[in-house]
Amino acid sequence: MDLQFFNTLSRRIETFEPSEPSSKKVGLYCCGPTVYDFAHIGNFRTFLFVDMVRRFLEFKGFEVNHVMNITDVDDKIIHGFNASPEKTSLRDYTAPYEKAFFEDFDQLNCLRPTSIPRATDYIPQMLELIGKLMENGIAYQTPDGSIFFSIQRYIALGGKYGQLVKINFDEIRVGERIKSDEYEKENVADFVLWKARVPSDGELFWPSPWGEGRPGWHIECSAMSRHILGKSFDIHLGGEDLAFPHHEDEIAQSEGSTLCKEGGCKPTPFVRYWLHFSHLLVEGKKMSKSLGNFYTVRDLFQKGYSGREVRYLLLSAHYRESFNFTLEGLNGARTALARLDECLFKLRELAGTAEPPGKQSALVQSFDDALSDDFNLSAGWAALFDWVRQTNKQIAEEKLSPADAAGLLADWARVDSVLAVCPQKKEEEEVPTEITDLLEARQAARKAKDFARSDAIRDELKSKGWVIEDTPKGPRLKRI
Protein backbone atom coordinates (compact mmCIF):
# COMPACT_ATOMS: atom_id res chain seq x y z
CA MET A 1 0.00 0.00 0.00
CA ASP A 2 1.25 3.49 -0.87
CA LEU A 3 1.84 5.91 1.96
CA GLN A 4 -1.02 8.32 2.53
CA PHE A 5 -1.34 11.03 5.12
CA PHE A 6 -3.19 14.23 5.97
CA ASN A 7 -1.60 17.17 4.21
CA THR A 8 -2.41 20.40 6.08
CA LEU A 9 -1.95 22.27 2.81
CA SER A 10 -4.84 20.55 1.01
CA ARG A 11 -6.67 19.60 4.24
CA ARG A 12 -7.15 16.08 2.99
CA ILE A 13 -5.49 12.68 2.95
CA GLU A 14 -3.12 12.44 0.00
CA THR A 15 -0.87 9.76 -1.42
CA PHE A 16 2.73 10.74 -0.88
CA GLU A 17 4.86 11.10 -3.99
CA PRO A 18 8.33 12.60 -3.65
CA SER A 19 9.31 15.33 -6.09
CA GLU A 20 11.95 12.98 -7.52
CA PRO A 21 10.06 9.67 -7.63
CA SER A 22 12.76 7.83 -9.55
CA SER A 23 15.48 8.53 -6.99
CA LYS A 24 13.18 8.04 -3.98
CA LYS A 25 14.88 11.00 -2.33
CA VAL A 26 12.85 12.94 0.20
CA GLY A 27 13.71 16.36 1.64
CA LEU A 28 12.22 16.78 5.11
CA TYR A 29 12.43 19.78 7.41
CA CYS A 30 11.28 20.02 10.98
CA CYS A 31 11.44 23.09 13.19
CA GLY A 32 13.80 22.17 15.98
CA PRO A 33 14.12 23.17 19.61
CA THR A 34 14.58 26.68 20.95
CA VAL A 35 17.55 26.20 23.23
CA TYR A 36 16.85 28.42 26.25
CA ASP A 37 15.72 25.71 28.68
CA PHE A 38 15.24 21.93 28.89
CA ALA A 39 12.73 20.60 26.36
CA HIS A 40 9.63 19.04 27.93
CA ILE A 41 8.00 15.79 26.90
CA GLY A 42 5.36 17.74 24.93
CA ASN A 43 8.17 19.00 22.68
CA PHE A 44 9.49 15.45 22.51
CA ARG A 45 6.11 14.08 21.45
CA THR A 46 6.59 16.20 18.32
CA PHE A 47 10.21 15.09 17.79
CA LEU A 48 9.23 11.46 18.31
CA PHE A 49 6.56 11.77 15.62
CA VAL A 50 9.12 13.32 13.29
CA ASP A 51 11.44 10.39 14.02
CA MET A 52 8.62 7.92 13.38
CA VAL A 53 7.77 9.59 10.03
CA ARG A 54 11.41 9.57 8.96
CA ARG A 55 11.90 5.95 10.02
CA PHE A 56 8.71 4.87 8.27
CA LEU A 57 9.74 6.64 5.05
CA GLU A 58 13.02 4.70 5.25
CA PHE A 59 11.07 1.49 5.95
CA LYS A 60 9.21 2.21 2.67
CA GLY A 61 12.51 2.52 0.83
CA PHE A 62 12.84 6.32 0.69
CA GLU A 63 16.14 8.05 1.23
CA VAL A 64 15.47 10.88 3.66
CA ASN A 65 17.45 14.09 3.90
CA HIS A 66 16.27 15.11 7.35
CA VAL A 67 16.97 18.67 8.46
CA MET A 68 16.19 19.92 11.95
CA ASN A 69 17.31 23.40 12.93
CA ILE A 70 18.35 24.69 16.30
CA THR A 71 16.77 28.04 17.16
CA ASP A 72 19.62 29.64 19.08
CA VAL A 73 18.48 33.24 18.78
CA ASP A 74 14.99 34.59 19.51
CA ASP A 75 13.24 36.83 22.04
CA LYS A 76 13.32 34.27 24.86
CA ILE A 77 16.99 33.40 24.32
CA ILE A 78 18.05 37.05 24.24
CA HIS A 79 16.09 37.75 27.39
CA GLY A 80 17.60 34.68 29.13
CA PHE A 81 21.11 35.50 27.99
CA ASN A 82 20.93 39.10 29.16
CA ALA A 83 19.48 38.05 32.51
CA SER A 84 22.20 35.42 33.07
CA PRO A 85 24.99 36.40 35.48
CA GLU A 86 27.85 35.25 33.24
CA LYS A 87 27.41 36.70 29.79
CA THR A 88 30.31 35.02 28.05
CA SER A 89 28.93 34.29 24.60
CA LEU A 90 25.55 33.35 23.17
CA ARG A 91 26.95 29.93 22.21
CA ASP A 92 28.14 29.34 25.79
CA TYR A 93 24.66 30.23 27.00
CA THR A 94 22.78 27.91 24.59
CA ALA A 95 25.30 25.01 24.49
CA PRO A 96 24.22 23.29 27.74
CA TYR A 97 20.55 23.32 26.62
CA GLU A 98 21.49 22.00 23.20
CA LYS A 99 23.59 19.25 24.80
CA ALA A 100 20.77 18.32 27.18
CA PHE A 101 18.34 18.24 24.27
CA PHE A 102 20.44 15.72 22.36
CA GLU A 103 21.05 13.59 25.45
CA ASP A 104 17.28 13.26 25.83
CA PHE A 105 16.84 12.84 22.07
CA ASP A 106 19.32 9.91 22.10
CA GLN A 107 17.74 8.37 25.18
CA LEU A 108 14.42 8.36 23.32
CA ASN A 109 16.19 6.56 20.47
CA CYS A 110 15.52 9.27 17.88
CA LEU A 111 17.77 9.10 14.84
CA ARG A 112 20.03 12.11 14.50
CA PRO A 113 18.90 14.29 11.56
CA THR A 114 21.13 14.45 8.49
CA SER A 115 21.77 18.18 9.10
CA ILE A 116 21.30 20.19 12.27
CA PRO A 117 21.85 23.85 11.31
CA ARG A 118 22.02 26.50 14.01
CA ALA A 119 20.22 29.75 13.22
CA THR A 120 23.19 31.94 14.20
CA ASP A 121 25.34 30.20 11.57
CA TYR A 122 22.91 31.27 8.81
CA ILE A 123 22.64 35.04 9.32
CA PRO A 124 24.14 35.77 5.83
CA GLN A 125 21.54 33.50 4.19
CA MET A 126 18.77 35.25 6.15
CA LEU A 127 20.05 38.66 5.04
CA GLU A 128 20.14 37.43 1.44
CA LEU A 129 16.53 36.30 1.66
CA ILE A 130 15.43 39.56 3.27
CA GLY A 131 17.35 41.36 0.48
CA LYS A 132 15.28 39.51 -2.15
CA LEU A 133 12.07 40.50 -0.40
CA MET A 134 13.25 44.12 -0.25
CA GLU A 135 14.12 44.00 -3.94
CA ASN A 136 10.67 42.96 -5.02
CA GLY A 137 9.03 45.40 -2.64
CA ILE A 138 7.45 42.82 -0.33
CA ALA A 139 9.59 43.93 2.59
CA TYR A 140 9.83 47.48 3.93
CA GLN A 141 11.79 49.31 6.57
CA THR A 142 10.16 51.19 9.47
CA PRO A 143 11.63 54.35 11.00
CA ASP A 144 13.29 52.39 13.85
CA GLY A 145 15.28 50.43 11.24
CA SER A 146 13.37 47.12 11.49
CA ILE A 147 12.27 45.29 8.33
CA PHE A 148 8.72 43.98 7.99
CA PHE A 149 6.96 41.67 5.56
CA SER A 150 4.00 43.31 3.82
CA ILE A 151 1.18 40.81 3.50
CA GLN A 152 -0.79 43.14 1.23
CA ARG A 153 2.07 43.65 -1.15
CA TYR A 154 2.75 39.89 -1.20
CA ILE A 155 -0.86 39.20 -2.15
CA ALA A 156 -0.80 42.00 -4.75
CA LEU A 157 2.18 40.34 -6.47
CA GLY A 158 0.39 36.99 -6.67
CA GLY A 159 1.33 35.41 -3.34
CA LYS A 160 -1.23 33.49 -1.30
CA TYR A 161 -1.44 34.19 2.43
CA GLY A 162 -3.58 31.72 4.38
CA GLN A 163 -2.47 28.43 2.82
CA LEU A 164 -2.39 26.46 6.06
CA VAL A 165 -5.18 28.26 7.91
CA LYS A 166 -8.32 29.98 6.75
CA ILE A 167 -7.87 33.70 7.16
CA ASN A 168 -10.52 36.32 7.43
CA PHE A 169 -8.99 39.09 5.35
CA ASP A 170 -11.35 41.71 6.76
CA GLU A 171 -9.33 41.33 9.90
CA ILE A 172 -6.04 42.28 8.32
CA ARG A 173 -5.24 45.55 9.91
CA VAL A 174 -3.25 47.45 7.35
CA GLY A 175 -0.13 48.97 8.75
CA GLU A 176 -0.38 47.01 11.99
CA ARG A 177 2.83 45.20 12.72
CA ILE A 178 3.98 42.36 14.89
CA LYS A 179 7.49 42.53 16.18
CA SER A 180 7.36 39.76 18.75
CA ASP A 181 8.38 36.22 17.78
CA GLU A 182 5.16 34.88 19.25
CA TYR A 183 1.70 36.30 18.80
CA GLU A 184 -1.90 35.33 19.02
CA LYS A 185 -3.26 33.07 16.30
CA GLU A 186 -6.07 35.50 15.47
CA ASN A 187 -3.71 38.34 14.79
CA VAL A 188 -2.96 38.72 11.09
CA ALA A 189 -0.55 41.55 10.50
CA ASP A 190 2.77 42.33 8.89
CA PHE A 191 5.49 40.40 10.66
CA VAL A 192 9.07 41.24 11.40
CA LEU A 193 11.98 39.92 9.31
CA TRP A 194 14.78 41.92 10.90
CA LYS A 195 14.56 43.58 14.30
CA ALA A 196 16.57 46.74 14.73
CA ARG A 197 18.89 46.73 17.70
CA VAL A 198 17.39 48.13 20.93
CA PRO A 199 19.21 48.81 24.22
CA SER A 200 17.67 45.72 25.91
CA ASP A 201 19.41 43.47 23.32
CA GLY A 202 22.71 44.28 25.03
CA GLU A 203 25.58 42.99 22.95
CA LEU A 204 23.48 40.60 20.89
CA PHE A 205 23.25 42.03 17.40
CA TRP A 206 24.55 41.49 13.87
CA PRO A 207 25.37 44.02 11.15
CA SER A 208 23.10 44.16 8.11
CA PRO A 209 22.62 46.44 5.07
CA TRP A 210 19.71 47.99 7.02
CA GLY A 211 21.52 48.56 10.29
CA GLU A 212 22.41 46.47 13.32
CA GLY A 213 19.85 44.06 14.64
CA ARG A 214 18.83 40.42 14.64
CA PRO A 215 16.60 38.14 12.63
CA GLY A 216 12.93 37.43 13.34
CA TRP A 217 12.16 33.80 14.14
CA HIS A 218 10.25 32.96 10.93
CA ILE A 219 13.02 34.01 8.54
CA GLU A 220 15.43 31.62 10.27
CA CYS A 221 13.61 28.50 9.08
CA SER A 222 12.99 29.86 5.55
CA ALA A 223 16.69 30.62 5.12
CA MET A 224 18.04 27.35 6.57
CA SER A 225 15.62 25.07 4.74
CA ARG A 226 16.26 26.89 1.46
CA HIS A 227 20.02 26.68 1.83
CA ILE A 228 20.06 22.96 2.63
CA LEU A 229 17.01 21.54 0.83
CA GLY A 230 16.45 24.08 -1.94
CA LYS A 231 13.61 26.48 -2.82
CA SER A 232 11.13 23.64 -2.93
CA PHE A 233 11.12 20.42 -0.91
CA ASP A 234 8.86 17.54 0.04
CA ILE A 235 7.76 17.52 3.68
CA HIS A 236 7.72 20.10 6.46
CA LEU A 237 6.65 19.06 9.93
CA GLY A 238 6.05 20.51 13.37
CA GLY A 239 3.69 20.80 16.30
CA GLU A 240 0.16 22.07 15.54
CA ASP A 241 0.85 25.41 17.26
CA LEU A 242 3.43 26.24 14.59
CA ALA A 243 1.02 26.09 11.63
CA PHE A 244 0.06 29.70 12.24
CA PRO A 245 1.75 32.10 12.23
CA HIS A 246 5.19 30.46 12.02
CA HIS A 247 4.68 28.09 9.08
CA GLU A 248 2.31 30.41 7.23
CA ASP A 249 4.97 33.09 7.47
CA GLU A 250 7.69 30.67 6.33
CA ILE A 251 5.60 30.02 3.20
CA ALA A 252 5.05 33.74 2.62
CA GLN A 253 8.76 34.56 2.93
CA SER A 254 9.99 31.63 0.85
CA GLU A 255 7.40 31.93 -1.91
CA GLY A 256 7.50 35.74 -1.75
CA SER A 257 11.21 35.67 -2.57
CA THR A 258 10.40 33.89 -5.84
CA LEU A 259 7.89 36.53 -7.01
CA CYS A 260 8.90 39.43 -9.25
CA LYS A 261 8.62 43.11 -8.63
CA GLU A 262 6.40 43.78 -11.65
CA GLY A 263 3.99 40.99 -10.70
CA GLY A 264 2.88 38.28 -13.09
CA CYS A 265 5.41 35.63 -11.86
CA LYS A 266 4.17 32.40 -10.41
CA PRO A 267 5.62 31.63 -6.97
CA THR A 268 7.75 28.48 -6.62
CA PRO A 269 5.83 26.25 -4.18
CA PHE A 270 7.81 26.07 -0.94
CA VAL A 271 6.69 22.71 0.46
CA ARG A 272 4.48 20.01 -1.05
CA TYR A 273 3.29 18.24 2.11
CA TRP A 274 2.79 19.71 5.57
CA LEU A 275 2.34 17.52 8.62
CA HIS A 276 1.22 18.92 11.97
CA PHE A 277 1.18 16.96 15.19
CA SER A 278 -1.39 17.40 17.92
CA HIS A 279 -0.26 18.40 21.36
CA LEU A 280 0.49 16.52 24.48
CA LEU A 281 -1.88 17.51 27.26
CA VAL A 282 -1.69 17.30 31.01
CA GLU A 283 -5.07 17.18 32.69
CA GLY A 284 -6.67 18.46 29.53
CA LYS A 285 -4.32 21.43 29.06
CA LYS A 286 -1.42 21.84 26.63
CA MET A 287 1.86 20.91 28.32
CA SER A 288 3.86 24.11 28.21
CA LYS A 289 6.53 25.99 30.04
CA SER A 290 4.35 29.05 30.48
CA LEU A 291 1.65 27.00 32.26
CA GLY A 292 4.29 25.29 34.40
CA ASN A 293 2.54 21.92 33.93
CA PHE A 294 5.39 20.04 32.32
CA TYR A 295 7.74 17.12 32.79
CA THR A 296 11.14 16.92 31.20
CA VAL A 297 12.49 13.59 30.01
CA ARG A 298 15.00 13.70 32.87
CA ASP A 299 12.20 14.21 35.43
CA LEU A 300 10.78 10.89 34.25
CA PHE A 301 14.17 9.16 34.36
CA GLN A 302 14.51 10.32 37.95
CA LYS A 303 11.22 8.64 38.69
CA GLY A 304 12.72 5.39 37.38
CA TYR A 305 11.20 5.29 33.88
CA SER A 306 13.30 4.47 30.84
CA GLY A 307 13.62 6.11 27.43
CA ARG A 308 11.84 3.25 25.69
CA GLU A 309 8.87 3.48 28.08
CA VAL A 310 8.53 7.20 27.41
CA ARG A 311 8.94 6.58 23.66
CA TYR A 312 6.27 3.87 23.70
CA LEU A 313 3.77 6.02 25.59
CA LEU A 314 4.28 9.17 23.50
CA LEU A 315 3.96 7.16 20.30
CA SER A 316 0.95 5.17 21.41
CA ALA A 317 -1.78 7.47 20.07
CA HIS A 318 -2.48 8.86 16.61
CA TYR A 319 -0.50 11.97 15.66
CA ARG A 320 -3.67 13.92 14.88
CA GLU A 321 -5.15 13.24 18.29
CA SER A 322 -4.04 15.10 21.36
CA PHE A 323 -2.85 12.80 24.10
CA ASN A 324 -3.30 13.14 27.82
CA PHE A 325 -0.11 12.29 29.67
CA THR A 326 -0.25 10.49 33.01
CA LEU A 327 2.26 8.54 35.09
CA GLU A 328 -0.22 5.61 35.11
CA GLY A 329 0.13 5.65 31.33
CA LEU A 330 3.86 5.12 31.78
CA ASN A 331 3.21 2.18 34.10
CA GLY A 332 0.99 0.74 31.38
CA ALA A 333 3.84 1.23 28.89
CA ARG A 334 6.15 -0.72 31.20
CA THR A 335 3.71 -3.64 31.38
CA ALA A 336 3.15 -3.69 27.61
CA LEU A 337 6.88 -3.63 26.89
CA ALA A 338 7.54 -6.37 29.44
CA ARG A 339 5.04 -8.54 27.57
CA LEU A 340 6.86 -7.85 24.32
CA ASP A 341 10.30 -8.47 25.88
CA GLU A 342 9.14 -11.77 27.30
CA CYS A 343 7.99 -12.95 23.91
CA LEU A 344 11.23 -11.80 22.23
CA PHE A 345 13.31 -13.48 24.90
CA LYS A 346 11.57 -16.80 24.32
CA LEU A 347 11.95 -16.42 20.56
CA ARG A 348 15.68 -15.71 20.91
CA GLU A 349 16.14 -18.78 23.10
CA LEU A 350 14.28 -20.91 20.61
CA ALA A 351 16.01 -19.50 17.54
CA GLY A 352 19.53 -20.00 18.86
CA THR A 353 21.80 -19.68 15.83
CA ALA A 354 19.16 -20.71 13.25
CA GLU A 355 18.83 -18.68 10.04
CA PRO A 356 15.44 -17.10 9.19
CA PRO A 357 13.61 -18.90 6.35
CA GLY A 358 13.44 -15.71 4.22
CA LYS A 359 9.68 -15.35 4.05
CA GLN A 360 7.82 -12.67 5.92
CA SER A 361 5.04 -13.25 8.44
CA ALA A 362 1.81 -11.29 8.38
CA LEU A 363 3.19 -8.87 10.98
CA VAL A 364 5.29 -6.78 8.59
CA GLN A 365 2.41 -6.48 6.12
CA SER A 366 -0.18 -5.47 8.70
CA PHE A 367 2.23 -3.00 10.28
CA ASP A 368 3.03 -1.52 6.86
CA ASP A 369 -0.69 -1.22 6.04
CA ALA A 370 -1.44 0.43 9.39
CA LEU A 371 1.25 3.10 9.11
CA SER A 372 0.70 3.67 5.40
CA ASP A 373 -2.81 4.70 6.37
CA ASP A 374 -2.06 8.18 7.77
CA PHE A 375 0.59 6.82 10.18
CA ASN A 376 -2.02 4.91 12.14
CA LEU A 377 0.20 3.96 15.03
CA SER A 378 -2.60 2.61 17.22
CA ALA A 379 -3.39 0.05 14.51
CA GLY A 380 0.36 -0.68 14.19
CA TRP A 381 0.70 -1.42 17.91
CA ALA A 382 -2.48 -3.52 17.80
CA ALA A 383 -0.96 -5.62 14.98
CA LEU A 384 2.20 -6.06 17.04
CA PHE A 385 0.41 -7.16 20.21
CA ASP A 386 -1.78 -9.58 18.21
CA TRP A 387 1.44 -11.06 16.90
CA VAL A 388 2.81 -11.34 20.48
CA ARG A 389 -0.35 -13.20 21.54
CA GLN A 390 -0.20 -15.60 18.61
CA THR A 391 3.54 -16.14 18.96
CA ASN A 392 3.22 -16.92 22.67
CA LYS A 393 0.50 -19.43 21.84
CA GLN A 394 2.63 -21.10 19.18
CA ILE A 395 5.60 -21.27 21.56
CA ALA A 396 3.45 -22.80 24.30
CA GLU A 397 2.12 -25.38 21.84
CA GLU A 398 5.70 -26.07 20.67
CA LYS A 399 4.72 -25.32 17.09
CA LEU A 400 7.78 -23.23 16.21
CA SER A 401 11.05 -24.54 14.84
CA PRO A 402 14.28 -22.59 15.48
CA ALA A 403 14.10 -21.30 11.88
CA ASP A 404 10.49 -20.16 12.42
CA ALA A 405 11.58 -18.32 15.55
CA ALA A 406 14.49 -16.71 13.68
CA GLY A 407 12.04 -15.63 10.96
CA LEU A 408 9.71 -14.04 13.50
CA LEU A 409 12.63 -12.20 15.06
CA ALA A 410 13.65 -10.88 11.63
CA ASP A 411 10.09 -9.58 11.12
CA TRP A 412 10.15 -7.97 14.52
CA ALA A 413 13.47 -6.25 13.70
CA ARG A 414 11.88 -4.76 10.59
CA VAL A 415 8.94 -3.39 12.58
CA ASP A 416 11.26 -2.13 15.28
CA SER A 417 13.26 -0.19 12.70
CA VAL A 418 10.26 2.17 12.92
CA LEU A 419 9.02 1.76 16.49
CA ALA A 420 12.55 1.63 17.94
CA VAL A 421 11.50 0.33 21.35
CA CYS A 422 13.69 -2.75 21.35
CA PRO A 423 15.90 -2.64 24.42
CA GLN A 424 19.21 -1.35 23.29
CA LYS A 425 22.09 -3.55 24.35
CA LYS A 426 23.04 -1.05 27.02
CA GLU A 427 19.66 -1.28 28.71
CA GLU A 428 19.69 -5.07 28.55
CA GLU A 429 23.05 -5.22 30.22
CA GLU A 430 22.25 -2.59 32.77
CA VAL A 431 21.49 -4.78 35.76
CA PRO A 432 22.92 -2.98 38.78
CA THR A 433 25.89 -4.77 40.41
CA GLU A 434 24.02 -4.85 43.71
CA ILE A 435 21.40 -7.02 41.98
CA THR A 436 23.87 -9.33 40.21
CA ASP A 437 25.71 -9.76 43.53
CA LEU A 438 22.46 -10.85 45.16
CA LEU A 439 21.86 -13.31 42.34
CA GLU A 440 25.29 -14.83 42.87
CA ALA A 441 24.67 -15.08 46.63
CA ARG A 442 21.39 -16.81 45.94
CA GLN A 443 23.09 -19.31 43.63
CA ALA A 444 25.70 -20.03 46.30
CA ALA A 445 22.98 -20.53 48.93
CA ARG A 446 21.16 -22.96 46.67
CA LYS A 447 24.34 -24.88 46.02
CA ALA A 448 24.88 -25.15 49.75
CA LYS A 449 21.24 -26.27 50.08
CA ASP A 450 20.57 -23.27 52.35
CA PHE A 451 17.05 -22.76 51.02
CA ALA A 452 15.99 -20.40 53.78
CA ARG A 453 18.77 -18.01 52.74
CA SER A 454 18.05 -18.49 49.03
CA ASP A 455 14.36 -17.63 49.64
CA ALA A 456 15.32 -14.60 51.71
CA ILE A 457 17.53 -13.34 48.88
CA ARG A 458 14.73 -13.89 46.37
CA ASP A 459 12.42 -11.78 48.57
CA GLU A 460 15.05 -9.07 48.87
CA LEU A 461 15.43 -8.99 45.08
CA LYS A 462 11.66 -8.73 44.75
CA SER A 463 11.56 -5.78 47.13
CA LYS A 464 14.12 -4.11 44.86
CA GLY A 465 11.99 -4.72 41.76
CA TRP A 466 13.65 -7.86 40.32
CA VAL A 467 12.59 -11.48 39.96
CA ILE A 468 14.69 -14.51 39.18
CA GLU A 469 13.50 -16.85 36.49
CA ASP A 470 15.07 -20.26 36.31
CA THR A 471 15.51 -21.19 32.66
CA PRO A 472 17.20 -24.23 31.07
CA LYS A 473 20.18 -21.95 30.47
CA GLY A 474 20.42 -20.92 34.11
CA PRO A 475 18.85 -18.17 36.20
CA ARG A 476 17.77 -14.91 34.58
CA LEU A 477 17.04 -11.56 36.18
CA LYS A 478 13.90 -9.75 35.11
CA ARG A 479 12.45 -6.43 36.16
CA ILE A 480 9.03 -6.75 37.79
**By the criterion CB under 6 A, which residues form the site for ligand AMP?**
31, 33-34, 42-43, 45-46, 238-239, 241-242, 279-280, 286-288
Residue nearest to ligand AMP (CB): 239
CB 226 within 8 A of CB 190: no
Question: Pick from Zn ion, ligand AMP, none: which does 55 bind, CB < 5 to 8 A by kind?
Answer: none
Question: Pick from Zn ion, ligand AMP, none: which does 42 bind, CB < 5 to 8 A by kind?
Answer: ligand AMP
Tell me how far apart the alpha carbons of residues 333 and 310 are, in angstroms, rounded to a whole number: 8
CB 233 within 8 A of CB 202: no
CB 90 within 8 A of CB 53: no
Residue 288 CB, shortest distance to ligand AMP, in Å, is 6
State the burial class of residue 338 (Cβ atoms within 10 Å of its Cβ: 0-12, 13-18, 19+): middle
Pick from 349, 354, 303, 310: which is nearest to 332 by CA?
Answer: 310
Residue 74 CB, shortest distance to ligand AMP, in Å, is 8
Residue 191 CB, shortest distance to ligand AMP, in Å, is 17
Determine, following the binding rule CB under 5 A, whether residue 31 of this chain makes contact with Zn ion: yes
Question: Pick from Zn ion, ligand AMP, none: which does 54 bind, CB < 5 to 8 A by kind?
Answer: none
CB 79 within 8 A of CB 17: no
Residue 182 CB, shortest distance to Zn ion, in Å, is 13
- Per CB under 5 A, which region of 28-36, 309-317, 355-363, 430-438 contacts Zn ion? 28-36
Closest CB to ligand AMP among residues 241, 341: 241
* Cβ neighbours for 153, distance < 8 A, ≥ 6 positions apart: 137, 138, 140
Question: Pick from Zn ion, ligand AMP, none: which does 46 bind, CB < 5 to 8 A by kind?
Answer: ligand AMP
Closest CB to ligand AMP among residues 113, 239: 239
Determine, following the binding rule CB under 5 A, whether residue 310 of this chain makes contact with Zn ion: no
Question: Pick from Zn ion, ligand AMP, none: which does 318 bind, CB < 5 to 8 A by kind?
Answer: none
Determine, following the binding rule CB under 5 A, whether residue 223 of this chain makes contact with Zn ion: no
Q: Which residues partner with 236 through β-bridges?
A: 29, 274
Closest CB to ligand AMP among residues 45, 272: 45
Q: Calculate helix-pair angle for 402-419, 377-396, nearest 10 degrees.
A: 160
Q: Calculate helix-pair angle for 307-314, 327-351, nearest 10 degrees.
A: 110
Residue 69 CB, shortest distance to Zn ion, in Å, is 7
Residue 278 CB, shortest distance to ligand AMP, in Å, is 7
Pick from 110, 30, 111, 101: which is nearest to 307 by CA?
Answer: 110
Closest CB to ligand AMP among residues 242, 259: 242
Question: Pick from Zn ion, ligand AMP, none: which does 178 bind, CB < 5 to 8 A by kind?
Answer: none
Residues 193-222 that bind Zn ion (CB under 5 A): 221
Question: Pick from Zn ion, ligand AMP, none: which does 286 bind, CB < 5 to 8 A by kind?
Answer: ligand AMP
Question: Pick from Zn ion, ligand AMP, none: which does 221 bind, CB < 5 to 8 A by kind?
Answer: Zn ion
Residue 447 CB, shortest distance to ligand AMP, in Å, is 54
Closest CB to ligand AMP among residues 74, 374: 74
* Cβ neighbours for 336, distance < 8 A, ≥ 6 positions apart: 312, 385
CA 9-13-14 angle, 5° bins: 80
Residue 214 CB, shortest distance to ligand AMP, in Å, is 17
Pick from 347, 345, 122, 349: which is nearest to 222 by CA?
Answer: 122
Residue 66 CB, shortest distance to ligand AMP, in Å, is 15
CB 251 within 8 A of CB 155: no
- Whether the upstream peptide bond of residue 245 has omega within 30° of 0, thus cis, is yes
Tell me how far apart the alpha carbons of residues 316 and 305 are, in angstroms, rounded to a whole number: 16
The footprint of Zn ion (CB under 5 A) covers 31, 221
